[in-house]
């Protein structure tokens, strides 16, 4: 029954790969129609230890399956041997969330990112800082299973969507670029769009031409650039110093 449901839903659902992804998704209100564990008691013991707030929900959700069955459901077994499928939130709901004003926390814009792991790390950062959302331009699917795995299931804690450069949410556009003005002289507003270029080629000409401000992170001469996700971390931290989100 569980396996049949899994196969029926897998094509249209979000794969939650591992205990932590399931924990976060449940905590942030995801609808989870099916969840499996190779050792149900071990998964619940992990919940007792690390996530007592979602223990009862996981107790109701988790079905124990033999290891070969679990392995047949996931692309790559996770050390916790837990997996689940979640309903992907509607695009309309996420667009509404991204467009809502006045905004109390920035939207992160990744301009044509290439690396799925970077995108996941950025979604985790956005969730942690309480950012309004993460928008990607270009071809990368921000709901790809590898991105969801990198984001530890925190796609459900912020609004994640792919958009065209011409369809970005409202708000002043601060684009991060080593050639910009020193970010330390600027207070980032809560309604900012914080844009970052691709790993390979930086900001696209379209996004650069739309930017209201170009900002640089402090960096010693002769170092070309920082990693994309670490750049997002520094910019969100800089914004948070103004008193915005996180524990608010």
Ligand X SMILES: C[S@@+](CC[C@H](N)C(=O)[O-])C[C@H]1O[C@@H](n2cnc3c(N)ncnc32)[C@H](O)[C@@H]1O
Q: Do 211 and 175 meet the contact criterion of CB atoms below 8 Å apart?
A: yes
Q: Do 32 and 58 meet the contact criterion of CB atoms below 8 Å apart?
A: no
Interface stretch with ligand X, choices 97-105, 127-135, 156-164, 194-202 (CB under 6 A): 194-202
Q: Which is nearer to ligand X, 88 or 238 (CB)?
A: 238
Give the residue, chosen from 219, 241, 242, 243, that forms a contact with ligand X under the rule CB under 6 A: 219
Interface stretch with ligand X, choices 159-167, 204-212, 214-222, 236-244 (CB under 6 A): 214-222
Please, which residues have CB within 8 angstroms of residue 73's CB and are 6 or more apart in sequence? 3, 6, 10, 36, 65, 83
In DSSP terms, which residues pair with 86 in a beta bridge? 14
Rule CB under 6 A: is residue 34 a binding residue for ligand X?
no
Give the residue, chosen from 37, 46, 61, 203, that forms a contact with ligand X under the rule CB under 6 A: 203
CA distances from 114 to 121, 198, 203 (A): 13, 7, 12
CB atoms within 10 A of CB 189: 14
Rule CB under 6 A: is residue 174 a binding residue for ligand X?
no
Give the residue, chosen from 129, 147, 177, 244, that forms a contact with ligand X under the rule CB under 6 A: 177
State the nearest-atom distance from the C-beta of 175 to ligand X, in Å: 7
Rule CB under 6 A: is residue 80 a binding residue for ligand X?
no
Token pair 């799925």 is found at 116
* Residues numbered 106-165 forming contacts with ligand X, rule: CB under 6 A: none
Q: Which is nearer to ligand X, 5 or 227 (CB)?
A: 227
Q: Which is nearer to ligand X, 104 or 225 (CB)?
A: 225
State the nearest-atom distance from the C-beta of 157 to ligand X, in Å: 23
CA 204, 205, 209, 212 torsion: positive or negative?
positive
Give the residue, chosen from 57, 178, 210, 246, that forms a contact with ligand X under the rule CB under 6 A: 178
Please, which residues have CB within 8 angstroms of residue 59's CB and are 6 or more apart in sequence? 44, 47
Q: Which is nearer to ligand X, 44 or 234 (CB)?
A: 234
CA distances from 12 to 5, 76, 86, 233 (A): 12, 19, 9, 31
Rule CB under 6 A: is residue 199 a binding residue for ligand X?
yes
- Cis peptide before 46, with omega less than 30 degrees from 0? no
CA distance 137 to 68: 38
Rule CB under 6 A: is residue 231 a binding residue for ligand X?
yes
Give the residue, chosen from 81, 228, 233, 245, that forms a contact with ligand X under the rule CB under 6 A: 228
Q: Which residues bind ligand X (CB under 6 A)?
A: 176-178, 196-197, 199, 201-203, 216-217, 219, 225-228, 231
């Amino acid at each position: 029954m569980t396996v049949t449901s899994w196969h029926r839903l897998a094509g249209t659902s979000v794969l939650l790969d591992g205990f932590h992804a399931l924990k976060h998704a449940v905590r942030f209100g995801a609808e989870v129609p099916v969840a499996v564990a190779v050792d149900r008691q071990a998964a619940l013991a992990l919940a007792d230890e690390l996530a007592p707030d979602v223990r009862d929900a996981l107790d109701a959700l988790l079905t124990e399956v033999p290891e070969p069955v679990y392995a047949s459901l996931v692309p790559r077994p996770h050390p916790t041997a837990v997996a689940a499928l979640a309903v992907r939130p509607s695009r309309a709901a996420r667009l509404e969330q991204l467009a809502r004003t006045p905004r109390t926390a920035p939207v992160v814009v990744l301009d044509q990112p290439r690396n799925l792991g970077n995108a996941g790390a950025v979604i985790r950062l956005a969730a942690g800082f309480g950012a309004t959302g993460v928008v990607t331009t270009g071809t990368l699917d921000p709901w790809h299973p590898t991105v969801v795995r990198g984001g530890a299931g925190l796609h459900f804690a912020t609004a994640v969507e792919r958009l065209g450069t011409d369809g970005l949410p409202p708000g002043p556009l601060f684009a991060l670029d080593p050639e910009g003005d020193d970010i330390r002289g600027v207070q980032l507003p809560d309604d900012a769009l914080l844009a970052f270029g691709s790993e390979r080629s930086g900001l696209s000409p379209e996004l650069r031409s739309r930017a209201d401000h170009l900002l640089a992170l402090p960096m010693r001469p002769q170092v070309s650039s920082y990693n994309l996700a670490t750049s997002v971390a520094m910019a969100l931290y800089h914004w948070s110093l103004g008193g915005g989100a996180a524990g608010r």
